[in-house]
Amino acid sequence: MAILDRIREPRDLDALTLEECELLAAEIREFLIAAVSRTGGHLGPNLGVVELTIALHRVFRSPRDPIVFDTGHQSYVHKLLTGRRDFSGLRSRGGLAGYPQRAESEHDIVESSHASSSLSWADGISRAFARRAETDPSQQHRHVVAVVGDGALTGGMTWEALNNITDDNDRNLVLVVNDNGRSYAPTIGGMARFLNSVRSKDAYRDLQEGSEKLFSRLGTPGRTVYRAARGAMRGFVSRASDNQDLYSNLDIKYLGPVDGHDLHAVEEVLRQAKGYGRPTLVHVITEKGRGYAPAENDIADQFHAIGQIDPGSGEPVEVVGGRSWTSVFRERIVDLAEADDRIIGITAAMLVPTGLDLLASRLPGRVIDVGIAEQHAVASAAGLAYGGLHPVVAVYATFMNRAFDQLLMDVALHRAGVTFVLDRAGITGPDGASHNGVWDLATLQVVPGIRIAAPRDAQSLWEELGEAVAIDDGPTVLRYPKGAIGDDIPALRRLNDGVEVLRETEIARREYRDVLFVAVGPMASIALAAAEQLERDGISSSVIDPRWVVPVSGSLVELAEQHRLVITIEDGIRVGGVGTRIRQALRDAGVDTAVSELGTPDAFPGHASRAELLADAGLTADQIAAAVAEQVRGDRVPIARPAASDRPVS
């Protein structure tokens, strides 16, 4: 790591020769493979942008010239070049974030890790710089760079931004399209086909393969000749592309395509773009997972995001925790689709991560990948429902935020039968603030007519997904967390509206009832553990799983009336969460039982483990039991009301 050890900040790159930069690129790849193998993280995307990131920092002057990374999972190389060498705690509490983070460095600009927003950010920053430069000479000649993947170009925001960027050409703005043919998985749609046609042009292919082989035989002089030839050929390729280049129709200067792993070529084209003084788009072709055979050979996602692996083989070190929530959905949706030909899956560029890949392979034509376009996915789902199908839209909970308007106005207003499956709901942990899915319960429950289910285990997920796709008069939501699903939690009985009673102490049935725990989804195990601790302190409690948390079931209201205190537990933001809705339902029914809503605070959770973040929110069994015991101490008034109607668990 002789050269990497000398890089403490971007300007240290200025003293390096081109050959030293190429050696640095090799050292960075070696470092990333070793470091990310130990911690897990986004390996493939970062191996693909090593030369591009080096060139960006040599040509531009960060942070004076802000570099905005779209999504940001490809920012590890950027972190290394800006002085952050300790990757031992990557994505763990106290360690480096997996995405850009302003608290880490002045070189990190945009923390949000949602795709397709970088061009809008860059548009706004460059407009601000241009305006300030009119009166402040120190603001002149500042550039803004946005690095956007070809996958992000499937998102509508990029085209809204391009439309506005090209409306005002008097700005120093460089848009770098990092074209590797993939988002998480291979990029789909007309945009992907267009970029592939450019990528596959005979002139570019000859330049990429034939010329390199020819001149590499001549040693160092040959490489010099080769680079000169590339410069001439690149101009030819760019001109040859003009008659089919969709960017030319946007009135934006276009340069490329350029081999993103040729440092000389990338630096040259970036300096050319920097000198134009107007918005310029640079098309750079890279290879995800570059330089690491296991990633290059991984067809599914080229090691986009990995856990701990053996750096030599690329194989997982161990499988921790067993069966995942996603794997249960993956199997169940196939089972349901085979029985009902109306069911069709929709994914937003995340076929494998959301578990729709098995449906796509088993029943070809039954899954639609819309690219990184959640808004389109949801509005299109309304149309599919109108046409007689039942769409199942599978997305990460955090990305559902982007399509709220479509859920409200296109699906719910039209009473469309669409099921939303929200993976990574609640606290997710290592991915940080913008990937924690703690907002879905609070935001989605305001949609009129919506039904929201929160399974606590594999069996309830299996059942509730079947119930969801059977509803055709409005939107249904099924939400579950990231990670291992754990053991099934049996119910004592199921009430006539579906609410399940998981625990009742003898004292609760015989004399009086102190506490009713209402556990949302996977919080059931924590509620049961807290109830056991309270029983040892002489405090009686019941634990119920509403299964469908929205709307509030009538039997839940009846049970609340038979207890002195209701404790709702959810791994979502407590402001406007399920607990708030239950409190309102009790008030509407004239039930004066006190309610305490437990959930995550009104804040952005950082990157840490799920267990650490739950503890921060006071959502461990020990913390809950201690807080509840403090609340219920004092005089107890026996309660002898009729129990809610019930039936045996089916």
Binding site feature residues: 73, 113-115, 150-152, 180, 292, 374
Phi, psi (degrees; rounded to nearest 5) at 523:
-75, 0
Judge contact between 374 and 399, C-beta under 8 A. Answer: yes
Would strands 451-453 and 548-550 be described as parallel, antiparallel, or unpaired? antiparallel
- The active-site residue, picked from 27, 374, 558, 570, is 374
As to burial, measured by CB atoms within 10 angstroms (0-12 exposed, 13-18 middle, 19+ buried), residue 168 is middle
Spatial contact of 534 and 629, defined as CB atoms under 8 Å apart = yes
Q: Are strands 253-259 and 280-285 parallel, antiparallel or unpaired?
A: parallel
Give the integer Cα–Cα distance in Å for 321 and 327.
13
CA distance 387 to 402: 24
Q: What span, in angstroms and rounded, lies between the C-alpha atoms of 284 and 296?
A: 18
102: left (phi over 0), alpha (psi -120 to 50) or beta: alpha
One-letter amino acid for residue 279 of the chain = P
Q: 331: which residues sit within 8 A by CB, 6+ positions away?
A: 358
Kindly name the residue from 84, 402, 451, 581 that is annotated as catalytic.
402
Nearest to 430 by CA among 562, 250, 612: 612
Distance between CA atoms of residues 498 and 500, nearest Å: 6
Q: Please report, in angstroms and rounded to a whole number, the separation of the first and last CA atoms in the chain.
A: 63
Does 633 qualify as catalytic in the annotation?
Answer: no
288 a catalytic residue: yes
Instruction: Give the residue among 83, 90, 148 at the shortest CA–CA distance from 431.
Output: 90
- d(CA 100, CA 80) in angstroms, rounded, equals 12
Q: Give the helix ranges, DSSP H, for 363-485.
A: 374-386, 397-400, 404-405, 440-444, 458-469
Burial of 648 (0-12, 13-18, 19+ CB in 10 A): exposed
In the annotation, is 227 catalytic?
A: no
Distance CA 285, CA 252 (A): 19
φ, ψ (nearest 5 deg) of residue 371: 80, -170
Residue of 84, 182, 288, 456 marked catalytic? 288
Task: Give the separation between CA 32 and CA 526, rounded to whole angstroms.
Answer: 38
141 backbone dihedrals φ, ψ, rounded to 5°: 65, 20
Task: Tell me which residues are annotated as active site.
Answer: 288, 374, 402
